Amino acid sequence: MGRIVGIDLGTTNSVVAVLEAGRPQVIANAEGMRTTPSVVGFTKDSELLVGQAARRQLVLNPRNTFANLKRFVGRAWDELDDSSLSVPYTIRANDRGNVRVACPQMEREYAPEELVASILRKLVDDASTYIGESIEAAVITVPAYFDDAQRQATRDAGRLAGLEVERILNEPTAAALAYGFDRSAVKRVLVFDLGGGTFDVSLLRIANGVFDVKATNGDTQLGGNDFDQRIVDWLAAAFQEHHGIDLRRDRQALQRLTEAAEKAKQELSGVASTPISLPFIATGADGPLHIETRLDRTTFESLCPDLLDRLLLPVQTALRDSGWAAEDVDDVVLVGGSTRMPMVQQLVRTLIPHEPCQSVNPDEVVAIGAAVQ
């Protein structure tokens, strides 16, 4: 019999984990990374790319590269809000009102779950190579607020990837499982999940292994990408002031700016200042131009106060909906790569008077919980 894995199918990144001798382990992909970008693309030669390779052509080949597909899985066209519609690729409604993704390179349309299936396929293929066993089944996580159609479409994606989907599990429940909270008698847990493009707050009541989602809230248009964009704008504005060139209008330059911004942001979670070096980013009248600068954490934080403000209301609303006061919360679990930012952790500490749980990597905790399940 094949193995069963846990999969966090994220909007930005996906992670797969497995139980090895009773202990959950994240499995690295073929590129050696523990998280895989949830991006699918086709090259100019119609080659299918999944993960980091697809992500690298996001800005360069925007009409044939598909990120953020999770926003469309299981959604009818008229359920989409305006902000979801503004992706760089073409989406449309088919005659049954379902969302379809158009791929000019392949001259065809895809259901979002078909493209998501190729992400699942890569995760599982890489994982089975790594553990040296076939993988037949998976527990896949979804946001707590996913409705039946979204859950069914996630199951369909698993089936299209050739997997038996053993269970669809709520992401916050998975995070709580990773911390073993199912073993405690009664607990009230706040799961604070800031990912790449979405923010989710969930309040869980856990009693004798039974998980009850008391309230969910969030912001579907807020995540790490917004913080990256602040650095892109900071770099581009300084460059424009010096050289009169807006790098954001050049796709090649924008791709490099975006990657450098995210890298700098991630480094600033660990160090107080980081170099940013982008040689040959443009050509001016006198030859090639370069970016050679430093960004410190204080400056970065001064670029983002409004983004932090937007984290407050969803937490307060979720608390109000659940009827709990901040003091009633027993534990706070940090989920999502963006909760590695010190400014985000500080904000959480001001909201709930408990030291947040972060012994499990926030970008892996959901997949680990799925493996435990």
Active site residues per annotation: 8, 70, 171, 193
User: What are the φ and ψ backbone dihedral angles of 166, each rounded to 5 degrees?
Assistant: -65, -40
- Of 78-86, 89-97, 190-198, 236-244, the segment contacting Mg ion by CB under 5 A is 190-198
Site mask for ligand ADP (CB under 6 A), range 324-343, x = bound = ------------xxx-xx--
314 binds ligand ADP (CB under 6 A): no
- Residues 6, 41, 196, 218: which binds ligand ADP (CB under 6 A)? 196
Q: Please report, as residue ranges, which positions from 29 to 88 form the binding site for ligand ADP (by CB under 6 A).
A: 35
**Residue 105 or 220 having the CB closest to ligand ADP:** 220
Rounded to whole angstroms, the Cα distance separating 339 from 77 reads 32
Q: Please report, as residue ranges, which positions from 258 to 297 form the binding site for Mg ion (by CB under 5 A).
A: none
Nearest-5° angle of CA 202, CA 7, CA 83? 55
Q: Is the dihedral of CA 32, 33, 39, 43 positive or negative?
A: negative
Q: Please report, as residue ranges, which positions from 344 to 373 form the binding site for ligand ADP (by CB under 6 A).
A: 363
154 binds ligand ADP (CB under 6 A): no
User: What are the φ and ψ backbone dihedral angles of 268, each rounded to 5 degrees?
Assistant: -70, -10
195 binds Mg ion (CB under 5 A): yes
- Of 57-65, 125-133, 194-202, 298-306, the segment contacting ligand ADP by CB under 6 A is 194-202
- Of 77-85, 92-100, 124-132, 223-231, the segment contacting ligand ADP by CB under 6 A is 223-231
Where are the strands (E) in 184-324, listed by range?
186-194, 199-207, 210-219, 273-284, 287-296
**Residue 6 or 195 having the CB closest to ligand ADP:** 195
100 binds ligand ADP (CB under 6 A): no
Q: Which of 370, 369, 371 is nearest to 180 (CA)?
A: 369
The per-residue DSSP string of 37-78 comes to E--EEE-TT--EEETHHHHTTTTTSGGGEE--GGGTTT-BGG
> Edge-to-edge, what's the strand order for the sheet holding 65-66?
48-50, 40-42, 65-66
Rounded to whole angstroms, the Cα distance separating 327 from 296 reads 34
Site mask for ligand ADP (CB under 6 A), range 160-179, x = bound = --------------------
Q: How near is the Cβ of 195 to ligand ADP at its closest, in Å?
A: 2
Rounded to whole angstroms, the Cα distance separating 183 from 172 reads 16
Rounded to whole angstroms, the Cα distance separating 18 from 370 reads 9
Where on the chain is the footprint of ligand ADP (CB under 6 A)?
Answer: 10-13, 35, 195-198, 223-225, 262, 265-266, 269, 336-338, 340-341, 363
